[in-house]
Structure 1
Amino acid sequence: IHLAEISLGVSKGAHAVLVLDGAGWHTSPKLQLPANISLLPLPRYAPDLNPVENLWEFLRANFLSHRVWESYDAIVDACCSAWNALMRRPEQVTSITTRAWAQVKL
């Protein structure tokens, strides 16, 4: 279902490449891969290749570290608040996740 939703967001005539970490569900034989999506698994133990790792590091350092929460719900609220704050700063996301080696050279 998730891949189908991503597929709907891919521009007509374009092709999306999704970078995968080593999570078990990324390699399930039950996955139904849309024709306009390819999967690119990262090598094991290569967090430097996964830009999302840098987003988690930023969130921990700027919103979630050195705090104590009263309950599970408070933790979930803090995480949602941190994520929403980051999503309101797309230039920050771009800055954190851009890789010079992944740029298209024209």
Structure 2
Amino acid sequence: QFTAAYIFGAVCPENSKTAGLIMPKANTEGMQHHLNIISTTVTSSKHALLIVDRAAWHLTEKLDMPTNITIMPLPPYSPELNPVEQIWQQLRRSDFSNRCFEDYDEIVSVCCQAWNKFAKCAEAVHSLCSRKWALLE
């Protein structure tokens, strides 16, 4: 009765860089693909800090962690501390609410359009995802 797609998204609000991936399941395989994409978008002289909740696929030892990414798990039951959660709230309000989709392909298409629209707006990336506590100086 229900079909879903999952957006894996990461941002660098300081540089307005994004990395996104649409997957049919939220699992270790999807997380590995996401890590690989993030790793290729990180500037060669930089290192990424990826803030995640404690979903099993975020922290499993089965992941082949790229050397230019460090995972920082949030405390339990605190997803609101993850700046990326603001993106999902925004996309639900602007692109996903009160809709029915014909099939999985349409879901993926709408997810891609929504993520790409967000990713192109440097102001949205910066304003939704910047946190003073996350700045390194």
TM range (shorter): 0.7 to 0.9
Find the residue that maps to 1:40 and give its secondary structure.
Answer: strand
Unaligned runs of 5+ in 2: 1-31
TM-score under structure 1 normalisation? 0.77
Shift of residue 54 of structure 1?
Answer: 0.7
Q: CA RMSD in A?
A: 2.3
The count of corresponding residues between Structure 1 and Structure 2 is 105
Match of 1:68 in 2: 100
> Judging changes above 3 Å, is the alpha-carbon distance between structure 1 residues 84 and 7 closer, same or farther for their aligned structure 2 residues?
closer
Pair 1:16-2:48 in alignment: yes
> Judging changes above 3 Å, is the alpha-carbon distance between structure 1 residues 33 and 76 closer, same or farther for their aligned structure 2 residues?
closer
- Between Structure 1 and Structure 2, which shows a larger proportion of strand residues? 2
- Between Structure 1 and Structure 2, which shows a larger proportion of helix residues? 1
> Judging changes above 3 Å, is the alpha-carbon distance between structure 1 residues 15 and 82 closer, same or farther for their aligned structure 2 residues?
closer
Shift of residue 6 of structure 1?
Answer: 3.8
Q: Identify the match of residue 63 of structure 2 among 13, 19, 31.
A: 31
Match of 1:46 in 2: 78
Unaligned runs of 5+ in 1: none
1:38 is aligned with what amino acid?
A: T
- 1 or 2 for the larger relative contact order (CA 8 Å, sep ≥6)? 2
> Judging changes above 3 Å, is the alpha-carbon distance between structure 1 residues 40 and 65 closer, same or farther for their aligned structure 2 residues?
same
CA distance in 2, matches of 1:21, 1:36: 20
Match of 1:95 in 2: 127
Find the residue that maps to 1:51 and give its secondary structure.
Answer: coil
CA distance in 2, matches of 1:13, 1:81: 31
> Judging changes above 3 Å, is the alpha-carbon distance between structure 1 residues 32 and 78 closer, same or farther for their aligned structure 2 residues?
closer
Pair 1:55-2:124 in alignment: no
TM-score under structure 2 normalisation? 0.62
